[in-house]
Structure formats: structure tokens, C-alpha cells
């Protein structure tokens, strides 16, 4: 998604004369075209993320459009107070971009993971998070972030779908698959993993798959079609590469409750830190947390009171929450 991001920024920069792009010493072998296009308005501020965010706020205060980029944890965790005070408290629409959401940095270890990013940021009123599921989502998200006069955080990952042509174009809420065996709401590239695994299955034998792309603490409304589908589903699973606290499940269930939608039995597949105390690829950490298509499918069936599917092997037994 880094290359899609660079292309999308180039398009935005072409129509935005006052666009400043700040990076915290990241982007080698990816952002050079943007650097060349922006000239002096592309700044590597060095390894200093706290001042990077404050600088971005200052640039915005002065009328410029500012984007700040780093590896995800160094973009939201290190400079949290700068985001809270300098950006959000001042109501300045600064755009933050974190590369490597969830466990994407895999064997680099816990310091490089971003498994509580949007939960933390959504405690700040007025800030909207954008979590692309596919490469093609990045360009419309960059355009939307730029068009909305509010702070935004873009969580980049790696698209899991090799040919995205069969997927619907970006919208906040998309139904990727119809299905009768429960309903799954997912955010981020895991959507592609689930789509790859389930799209060829019979409709009767697979869950419906919905993906959410951007949201904020201030959004209250859910699409009527989603509410109806959830109310009618035998079970609901929320899937995210993010810890439970502050996650998508809590955000969604709160809004379902407010809307008076009766929720079916729930399975929450989410990041659980480092259960074994060991490290590995993104796939390793997902496996440790039950963030795999088969595990989720079986948990959903169990939550719905259905017998385990033919797929279920020993690895696919999981606990519903």
C-alpha cells in the first residue's frame, strides 16, 4: 500500500500548492517520487516524531496542508500528546499516516507493532481513522482525508488480494460477500484474507462479509441494511488486528445497542498481544490470536450453535468470547 499511497499523494500534491509532507526518517525506496515532486515542501524532520506532529500543527495553523508519516507506532504512540493537544485540541486538520498497522512488522518485535492505534486515537474527539482493506482503497481514502477538514489517521498495511478487480470500489461500509452462516464485520487487510478464503464457498455455507473503512467517535449512524442483516444473522463476528479495548467490536456494539438492534451471539477475533511471549511473522501473530479464516469460521458456527464444518481440524478449534 506504500506505493499506492505515494501515487495518491502525488495526485493530491498536484492540486494542492500548499501541501507539506513530513516524514520521521522513513520512506526510503518508496517516497522518492513525492520528495521530487514537492521539493522543499517534502521534509525529513529526522528521528523526532514528537516535534514532527507539532510542526505539522504549526504548518496547518499557518494555512498549509500537512501530512506526517512514520512507522505506525512512532506516528501515534510516541507523539500522542502532540496529537491530543497540538492537533485535536486546536482543531487542526493534520493528517497522520502510519505504515504497518497491526502485526505487519512481524518479526521486528513488539516495538514495531501497532495493535492499539485506532483505539487510542479514537478517544480524541474529531479525529477520524482510515483503515484500507485493499490497495485500491488508499487513493479514495487519501482524497477523503484531504477533503475533510478534520484530523485523520491512515493505517497502512499490505493488501492480501492479488487481483482486486472483482472487489467493490471503496465506500465506508461495503458488503463484500453475501452469506447465510453468520455475519462478519472486519477492518483492514484481514478482509482480503477472509475474502480469499470464503468467496468460492456456497452462499449457504459462508458468512456474509462486511468491511468498514473509516470511522470516528462522533459517527453514530449505521447503515440500515447492515443493522437488518445483523439482526437476522445467527451469529456475529468482529475481526480486527487490534486489541479488544477501543476496538471495532466495542465501537460497533455500542452503536447497535443505541439503535436498538438485538445482537446475535458474538465472536470477537482480535489482537491479543503476545500470548506465548514469542515473535514471528504477521501470520504467526495472527495465528496466535485466532485471526485466521478457518478459526473464525468455526468460532462463528459454534457461536451460532451450528455443528463444526468439514473444515474443522484441530487447529481450527477456538473459543468464542
Partner 1 sequence: MDPALATPAHHSPLTDGHSVDLNLSADTELQLIARRARRRLLRMHFERKVGHIGGNLSCLDALLALHHRILRPEDSFVLSKGHSAGALYITLWSLGLLADADLETFHAEGTLLAGHPVPGWHPRIPVATGSLGHGFPVATGMAFARARCGQEGRVFCLTSDGEWQEGSMWESLIFAAHQRLPNLTVMVDLNGLQGFGSTREVASMEDLGQRLAAFGIPVLHVDGHDHLAVTAALRRPGSAILVLHTTKGAGVSFMENRMEWHYLPLNAEQYAQALDELSEDAVAAALAAGGGR
Ligand X SMILES: Cc1ncc(C[n+]2csc(CCOP(=O)(O)OP(=O)(O)O)c2C)c(N)n1
CB of 66 to ligand X, least distance (A): 19
SS3 string, 20-64, reads: EEEECCCCCCCCHHHHHHHHHHEEECCCCHHHHHHHHHHHHHCCC
Q: Which is nearer to partner 1, 283 or 308 (CB)?
A: 283
39 in contact with partner 1 (CB under 8 A) = no
Q: Which is nearer to partner 1, 52 or 236 (CB)?
A: 52
Q: Count of CB atoms within 10 A of residue 58's CB?
A: 15
78 in contact with ligand X (CB under 6 A) = yes
> What's the DSSP call for residue 313?
-
Q: Which is nearer to ligand X, 47 or 169 (CB)?
A: 47
> Which residue from 20, 69, 74, 198 is in contact with ligand X, where contact means CB under 6 A?
74
**Window 78-97: residues binding partner 1 (CB under 8 A):** 78
SS3 string, 187-246, reads: CCCHHHHHHHHHCCCCHHHCCEEEEECEEECCCCCCCHHHHHHHHHCCCEEEEEEEECCC
Residues in Cβ contact with 58 at an 8 Å cutoff, skipping those fewer than 6 apart: 86
30 in contact with ligand X (CB under 6 A) = no
106 in contact with ligand X (CB under 6 A) = no
69 in contact with ligand X (CB under 6 A) = no
> Which residue from 36, 178, 281, 308 is in contact with partner 1, where contact means CB under 8 A?
281
CB of 109 to partner 1, least distance (A): 4
Q: Which is nearer to ligand X, 74 or 103 (CB)?
A: 74
The helix or strand, by DSSP H or E, that contains position 12, with its residue range, turns out to be: helix 2-15
Give the integer Cα–Cα distance in Å for 164 and 297. 23
Q: Do residues 261 and 252 make contact, with C-beta atoms less than 8 angstroms apart?
A: no
Q: Which part of the chain contacts ligand X (CB under 6 A), choosing from 20-28, 177-185, 192-200, 217-225?
A: 20-28
CB of 71 to ligand X, least distance (A): 6
Q: Which is nearer to partner 1, 72 or 248 (CB)?
A: 72
Phi and psi torsions of 251, nearest 5°: -60, -45
Binding positions for ligand X, rule: CB under 6 A: 24-26, 47, 49, 71, 74, 78
Binding positions for partner 1, rule: CB under 8 A: 23, 25-29, 44-48, 50-51, 73-74, 78, 107-112, 276-281, 284
Amino acid at each position: 500500500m506504500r506505493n499506492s499511497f505515494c501515487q495518491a499523494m502525488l495526485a493530491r500534491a498536484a492540486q494542492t500548492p500548499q501541501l507539506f509532507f513530513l516524514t520521521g526518517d522513513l520512506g526510503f525506496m518508496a517516497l522518492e517520487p513525492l520528495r521530487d515532486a514537492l521539493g522543499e515542501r517534502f521534509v525529513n524532520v529526522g528521528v523526532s516524531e514528537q516535534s514532527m506532529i507539532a510542526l505539522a500543527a504549526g504548518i496547518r495553523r499557518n494555512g498549509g496542508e500537512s501530512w506526517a508519516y512514520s512507522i505506525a507506532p512512532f506516528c501515534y504512540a510516541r507523539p500522542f500528546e502532540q496529537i491530543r493537544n497540538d492537533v485535536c485540541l486546536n482543531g487542526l486538520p493534520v493528517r497522520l499516516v502510519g505504515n504497518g498497522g497491526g502485526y505487519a512488522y512481524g518479526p521486528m518485535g513488539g516495538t514495531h507493532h501497532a495493535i492499539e492505534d485506532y483505539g487510542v486515537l479514537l478517544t480524541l474527539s474529531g479525529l477520524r481513522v482510515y483503515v484500507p482493506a485493499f490497495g485500491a482503497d488508499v487513493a479514495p481514502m487519501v482524497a477523503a482525508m484531504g477533503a475533510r477538514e478534520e484530523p485523520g489517521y491512515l493505517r497502512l498495511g499490505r493488501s492480501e488480494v492479488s487481483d482486486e478487480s472483482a472487489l467493490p470500489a471503496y465506500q465506508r461500509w461495503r458488503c463484500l460477500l453475501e452469506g447465510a452462516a453468520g455475519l462478519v464485520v472486519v477492518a483492514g487487510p484481514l478482509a482480503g484474507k477472509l475474502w480469499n478464503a470464503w468467496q468460492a464457498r456456497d452462499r449457504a455455507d459462508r458468512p456474509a462479509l462486511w468491511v468498514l473503512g473509516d470511522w470516528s467517535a462522533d459517527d453514530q449512524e449505521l447503515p440500515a441494511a447492515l443493522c437488518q442483516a445483523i439482526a437476522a444473522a445467527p451469529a456475529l463476528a468482529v475481526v480486527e488486528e487490534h486489541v479488544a479495548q477501543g476496538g471495532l467490536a466495542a465501537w460497533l456494539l455500542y452503536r447497535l445497542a443505541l439503535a436498538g438492534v438485538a445482537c446475535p451471539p458474538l465472536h470477537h477475533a482480535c489482537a491479543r498481544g503476545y500470548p506465548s511471549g514469542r515473535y514471528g511473522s504477521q501470520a504467526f501473530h495472527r495465528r496466535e490470536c485466532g485471526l485466521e479464516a478457518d478459526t473464525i469460521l468455526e468460532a462463528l458456527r459454534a457461536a451460532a450453535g451450528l455443528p463444526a464444518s468439514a473444515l474443522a481440524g484441530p487447529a481450527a478449534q477456538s473459543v468464542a468470547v
